[in-house]
Structure 1
């Protein structure tokens, strides 16, 4: 039964019950960060196979853009600015993981001095390299490679991309 709008305590209890039943999503937040030669920063995580874009998982109640900023500071010692959203990808449950929302943000271009001095700052990364886009894409795992290519398209035309498990909307009907 719905509470009367004037009963704040009953209304909050009703809303809390609904909130407890709603989905919780894991959230990842990565960035496309370039150097002055338009190469893309890639990182080699120590805890999984394959290379990644810099970033990581959001903590509870942390906005995705702030998660990206925090992760780059923790892992690379960088203070970045998020310039805009490039990609959102809904990722279906896989392995032991529930579904996820994966964000990629534009982090602009790093100055030559900062790019030259860039080194991993914790044990989660073994390497950080600026690579040409094609070489960067070849090193990424397939799921992230799809997102990265969509991000490059968004950078080129200024249109944010929404993907569903790596598929563009025009491809949804093929799998629905």
Structure 2
């Protein structure tokens, strides 16, 4: 958004004085989440799961972040909020902890792309990841994966809110 003001001072001479004022702002995008079927969502639900599912695999959900209506944007950085509650996943504070549920020993990882093939967001690092914006709408494939963080897991609800900060460098 920009606001502009132009004023002129005219006299009986052959000169004109003009003052130009404007506010120049960086571009922005509208960011929304889509589930793996392309539906607009604000919650990714794993549904009911059994502790035994964590013995053989790590449940994963694919989704995407759609950056729409991008004006004058060529790059974005997406980072976890500094208020995220982090826990040890692979020996560093890289996973997002269960903040509102009573399940124990379980956390969630956030990935750009597929787990292990993409790049993991590190919960404790607010530097985030950078992405190129090439069109008015850019789709960023993402995934979350539930992981055990302890050898003994406790059944219960798992509920956490991940707040991602989008900046325009």
Bigger share in helix? 1
Q: Highest Rg: 1 or 2? A: 2
TM-score category (smaller protein): under 0.3
Q: Normalization by structure 1: what TM-score? A: 0.24
Q: Normalization by structure 2: what TM-score? A: 0.25
Bigger share in strand? 2
